[in-house]
């Protein structure tokens, strides 16, 4: 009996300890959510030239769609990440909304997607020594791959956007040709160069 | 270099921020997708443009004339004396920043040199250096800089990133019109042969044939006949489309993209690149009206034409005293606003017909569309044509939803493809410029299920479909009179089973 009681006690303690362990980082991240998101937003805005970054920190939906989209979507991403739902449709949609913008701006592919990693920087800067405490750090090691996963989804989205741009470009060129062909059929001519029809 | 190996901790120090550069350092990288191709040699030659040669913007050597700098500075001197507004705009800006965040290219790209104030500074700094005493004395400290080839390349890059939409000037407390600064910049570039294909080629074609594709008159006539047949097929009514009929009451002129149903429109903005070219091409409209002996001219759904007609035509080629003050032959309404130009916009004309109950309309024939209206820069901001299109929409549709107030009417966001830069090679730049417009469309799509963006400018109809496919898939683009055509109930027509696109009503309604 005594023996079993000891095991019970041990299990109960272990359970208790585990719950503390699971909560530590999540609690920290929840408590510091606003500050971390602000830092993340600032870091993303700083990937733009200095004169533009201050503007991008604004959040008016219509006069500043880039700043608004980034601030809304990083909020959603953060929530999903805390809930451990990095594979959710919501995560994919949020990443798509940000990447769709960065894919056509003046960024190289790695610059376009690396804004995801800036979350690590924002968290480490905000939480500082807190995260280095043993429990938090061990949890951090489990948590961090989630951010890496976000970055890899972001890369997928980037490629999708670039492929879409190629598709649209081909469509436009094709449409241009379609008109030319239609006109050629109408006038019954052939072998005529664009801009020199029927000369 | 190879001897210096960074320590591991140094390698880990990654700075995510772009390197700091002063705006006075002209560095431009021509990346594919973000610039327009140079004009083809044969079209430069056809129009007799200066320094004709085959060239492309990424070329290191732009093959400028030896004395290019003198040409630019002399040209600038001439423009400063010719246009008082240019000198005023060069002098008066206090850099308050009110315009800074109003440009769709800045909003979409985050590139500071797309802030209208900074874009203007690119040319203003050279003005200071060569035309003002403080600039000559204090140089860089006085905001002045030397005109170099790199500066010229920067002008080319950024002045072909402005669609001359004038949104910034709405917010400028001094009323500085950045559009005019862009026009001056482009005119100076043109003096040394730096012009783009999508302006020069259509201008050359227009000069020769009157349309941007260079299609001759009989092909145009065939296209109209084709449209007449299609209307008969859809509605059972044979309309009459007379061409070049002498003694007709009015002459109808529409953007050439319209009658070729082309998805690309790039001509009319092309007029703007040079005042002389604009005069030559624009003169064709009055000349034709005079030849045919019509009373007045009716203009189609075109943005740029409307601004040219109202702001430039009278002084370029007027007064058209051989024409009459426009009066609607159907309603008797006098279009007093067109007393001087003798040219009426088709939206004014149609709205007047509707106001006088001259059209039988069934708005339910547009029930498959949930639409929003994009105010085109030239018609809305340029010429105040704001209420007429809305009046028409409310007469022909049941599901109309406005975009947010700060994105429509005189504060409308440009499509990002006007002023000659709507070419396919420039797609990525256009996607940047189109973002603020598309963002507002996305809002009404989410809120009201909008599936159609209607507009009264040919360039919008040509370029917005592509931009919306990227930013807001599921929203199509139409002209306003397509909706009028759908809703029109005419005597003797057969039962309508499809809309003007030939799409069966039932399918779209389901």
Asked, as a colleague might, if the bond just before B229 is cis with ω within 30 of 0, I would say no
B406, B436 contact by CB (below 8 A): no
| Alpha-carbon dihedral angle through residues A92, A98, A99, A101, given to the nearest 10 degrees | 140
Q: B431 vs A187: CB contact, 8 Å cut-off?
A: no
Tell me the pairing of strands B452-455 and B250-253: unpaired
Instruction: Answer whether B224 touches A (CB < 8 Å).
Output: no
Residues of B in contact with A96 (CB under 8 A): none
Work out the pLDDT band at A186, boundaries 50, 70, 90. Answer: low
The token duo for A18 is 């585990």
Lowest mean pLDDT among A104-118, B38-52, B201-215, B264-278: B264-278
Per-residue pLDDT at A76 exceeds 80 = yes
Per-residue pLDDT at A118 exceeds 90 = yes
How many Å lie between the alpha carbon of A100 and the closest alpha carbon of chain B? 8
What pLDDT is recorded for position B277?
Answer: 64
The token duo for B191 is 């003096």
**Which of B16, B34, B226 is the best mutation test for A, with the most CBs of A within 10 A?**
B16
Per-residue pLDDT at A66 exceeds 90 = yes
Neighbours of B427 (CB within 10 A): 25
Helix (H, G, I), strand (E, B) or coil at B477: strand
Instruction: Answer whether B111 touches A (CB < 8 Å).
Output: yes
Q: Give mean pLDDT, residues B50-73.
A: 94
Q: B466 vs A106: CB contact, 8 Å cut-off?
A: no
Q: Give mean pLDDT, residues B446-472.
A: 92
The residues near A32 (Cβ < 8 Å, ≥ 6 apart) are A126, A127
**Where do the structural domains in chain A lie, given as residue ranges?**
2-170
Angle of helix B480-487 relative to helix B387-396, nearest 10 degrees, comes to: 30
Domain B363-509 belongs to what architecture?
3-Layer(aba) Sandwich (3.40)
Note the pTM of the prediction, 2 decimals. 0.85
Report the alpha-carbon distance of residue B328 to residue B338 in Å, rounded: 12
Cα first-last separation, chain A: 106
Q: Where in chain B is the domain with CATH 1.10.1060?
A: 41-194
Q: Which chain A residue lies closest to B198 (C-alpha atoms)?
A: A195
Residues of A in contact with B201 (CB under 8 A): 195
Helix (H, G, I), strand (E, B) or coil at A39: helix
How many Å lie between the alpha carbon of A135 and the closest alpha carbon of chain B? 25
Report the alpha-carbon distance of residue A144 to residue A142 in Å, rounded: 6
The token duo for A58 is 């604004």
What pLDDT is recorded for position B266?
Answer: 27
Q: B223 vs A197: CB contact, 8 Å cut-off?
A: no
Q: What is the pLDDT of residues A22-49, one digit of tens each?
A: 568 888 899 999 999 999 999 999 999 8
Q: Give mean pLDDT, residues B5-34.
A: 77
Work out the pLDDT band at B276, boundaries 50, 70, 90. Answer: low
* Arithmetic mean of pLDDT over chain A: 82
Lowest mean pLDDT among A14-18, A83-87, A93-97, B498-502: A14-18
CB pairs under 8 A between A and B: 141
What pLDDT is recorded for position B287?
Answer: 77
* Arithmetic mean of pLDDT over chain B: 84
The helix (run of H) or strand (run of E) holding residue B251 is: strand B250-253
What pLDDT is recorded for position B271?
Answer: 27
B170, B103 contact by CB (below 8 A): no
What pLDDT is recorded for position A132?
Answer: 78
Lowest mean pLDDT among B4-13, B173-182, B377-386: B4-13
Q: What is the pLDDT of residues B462-490, one digit of tens each?
A: 889 999 999 999 999 998 988 998 898 88
Spell out where B300-455 has E strands.
343-345, 371-374, 452-455
Lowest mean pLDDT among A175-184, B141-150, B261-270, B422-431: B261-270
Q: What is the pLDDT of residues B91-143, one digit of tens each?
A: 999 999 999 999 999 999 999 999 999 999 999 999 999 999 999 999 999 89
HEC secondary structure over A135-164: HHHHHHHHHHHHHHHHHHHHHHHHHHHHHH
Residues of A in contact with B219 (CB under 8 A): 183, 186-187, 197-198
What pLDDT is recorded for position A182?
Answer: 64
Instruction: For chain B, give the percent of residues with pLDDT over 70.
Output: 89
Work out the pLDDT band at B307, boundaries 50, 70, 90. Answer: confident
Q: What is the DSSP letter of B498?
A: B
Q: Could you say which residues from 230 to 259 on chain B have a Cβ atom under 8 Å away from some Cβ of chain A?
A: none
**ipTM rounded to 2 decimals:** 0.83
Q: What is the pLDDT of residues B331-345, one digit of tens each?
A: 999 998 888 888 888
Tally: H helices and E strands in chain A: 8, 0
CA B234 to chain centre: 32
Work out the pLDDT band at A122, boundaries 50, 70, 90. Answer: very high
Report the alpha-carbon distance of residue A11 to residue A5 in Å, rounded: 10
Which residues of A lie inside 8 Å of B (Cβ-Cβ)?
A: 43, 46-52, 55-56, 61-66, 69, 100-101, 104-106, 114, 118, 121, 164-165, 168-169, 171-173, 175-176, 179-180, 183, 186-187, 194-198
Looking at per-residue confidence, does B153 or B207 come out higher?
B153
Residues of B in contact with A64 (CB under 8 A): 101, 107
Residues of A in contact with B16 (CB under 8 A): 43, 46-47, 114, 118, 121
CATH class of B41-194: mainly alpha
* Main-chain dihedrals φ then ψ at residue B452, nearest 5 degrees: -145, 135
Lowest mean pLDDT among A14-18, A46-50, B400-404: A14-18
Nearest to B17 by CA among A43, A71, A126: A43
What pLDDT is recorded for position B399?
Answer: 96
B461, A175 contact by CB (below 8 A): no
């Amino acid at each position: 009996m005594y023996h079993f009681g000891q095991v019970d006690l041990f299990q109960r303690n272990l359970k208790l300890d585990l719950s503390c362990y699971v909560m530590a980082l999540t609690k920290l991240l929840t408590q510091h959510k606003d500050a971390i998101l602000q830092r993340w937003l600032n870091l993303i805005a700083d990937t733009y030239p200095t004169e533009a970054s201050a503007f991008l920190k604004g959040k008016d939906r219509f006069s500043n769609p880039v700043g608004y989209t980034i601030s809304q979507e990083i909020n959603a991403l953060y929530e999903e990440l805390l809930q451990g739902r990095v594979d959710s449709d919501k995560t994919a949609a949020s990443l798509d909304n940000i990447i769709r913008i960065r894919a056509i701006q003046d960024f190289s592919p790695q610059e376009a997607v690396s804004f995801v990693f800036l979350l690590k920087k924002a968290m480490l800067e905000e939480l500082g020594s807190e995260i280095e405490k043993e429990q938090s750090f061990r949890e951090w090691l489990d948590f961090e791959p989630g951010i890496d996963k976000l970055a890899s989804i972001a890369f997928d989205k980037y490629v999708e956007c670039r492929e879409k741009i190629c598709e649209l470009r081909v469509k436009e060129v094709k449409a241009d040709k379609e008109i030319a062909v239609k006109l050629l059929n109408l006038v019954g001519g052939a072998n005529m160069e664009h801009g020199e029809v029927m000369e | 270099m190879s001897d210096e190996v960074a320590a591991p901790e140094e390698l880990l120090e990654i700075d995510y921020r772009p390197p700091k550069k002063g705006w006075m350092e002209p560095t431009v990288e021509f990346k594919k997708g973000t610039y327009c191709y140079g004009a083809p040699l044969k079209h430069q030659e056809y129009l007799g443009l200066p320094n004709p040669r085959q060239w492309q913007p990424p070329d290191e050597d732009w093959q400028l004339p030896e004395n290019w700098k003198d040409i630019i500075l002399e040209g600038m001197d001439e423009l400063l004396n010719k246009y008082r507004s240019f000198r005023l705009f060069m002098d008066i800006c206090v850099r308050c920043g009110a315009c800074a965040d109003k440009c769709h290219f800045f909003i979409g790209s985050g590139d500071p040199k797309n802030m209208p104030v900074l874009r203007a500074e690119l040319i203003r700094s050279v003005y200071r250096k060569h035309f003002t005493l403080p600039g000559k004395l204090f140089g860089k400290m006085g905001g002045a800089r030397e005109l170099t080839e790199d500066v010229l390349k920067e002008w080319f890059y950024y002045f072909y990133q402005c669609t001359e939409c004038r949104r910034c000037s709405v917010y400028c407390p001094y009323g500085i019109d950045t559009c005019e600064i862009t026009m001056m910049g482009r005119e100076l570039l043109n003096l040394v042969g730096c012009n783009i294909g999508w302006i020069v080629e259509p201008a050359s074609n227009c000069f020769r044939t009157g349309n941007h594709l260079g299609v001759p008159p009989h092909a145009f006539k065939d296209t109209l006949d084709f449209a007449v047949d299609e209307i008969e097929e859809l509605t059972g009514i044979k309309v009459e489309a007379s061409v070049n009929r002498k003694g007709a009451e009015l002459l109808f002129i529409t953007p050439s993209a319209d009658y070729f149903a082309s998805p690309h429109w790039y001509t009319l903005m092309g007029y703007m690149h040079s005042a002389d070219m604009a005069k030559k091409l624009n003169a064709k409209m009055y000349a034709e009206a005079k030849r045919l002996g019509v009373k007045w001219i009716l203009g189609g759904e075109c943005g740029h034409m409307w601004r040219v007609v109202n702001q430039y035509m009278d002084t370029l080629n007027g007064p058209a005293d051989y024409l009459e003050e426009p009066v609607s032959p159907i309603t008797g309404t006098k279009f007093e606003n067109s007393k001087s130009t003798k040219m009426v916009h088709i939206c004014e004309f149609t709205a007047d017909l509707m106001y006088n109950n001259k059209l039988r309309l069934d708005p339910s024939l547009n029930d498959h569309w949930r639409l929003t209206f994009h105010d085109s820069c030239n018609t809305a901001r340029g010429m105040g044509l704001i209420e007429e299109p809305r009046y028409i929409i409310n007469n022909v549709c049941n599901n109309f939803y406005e975009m947010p107030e700060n994105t429509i009417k005189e504060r409308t966001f440009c499509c990002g493809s006007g002023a000659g830069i709507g070419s396919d090679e420039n797609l990525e730049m256009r996607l940047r410029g189109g973002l603020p417009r598309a963002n507002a469309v996305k809002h009404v799509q989410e809120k009201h299920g909008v599936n159609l963006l209607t507009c009264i400018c040919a360039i919008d109809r040509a370029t917005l479909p592509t931009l919306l496919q990227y930013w807001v898939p599921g929203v199509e683009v139409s002209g306003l009179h397509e909706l009028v055509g759908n809703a029109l109930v005419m005597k003797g027509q057969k039962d309508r089973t499809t809309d003007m696109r030939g799409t069966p009503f039932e399918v779209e309604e389901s």
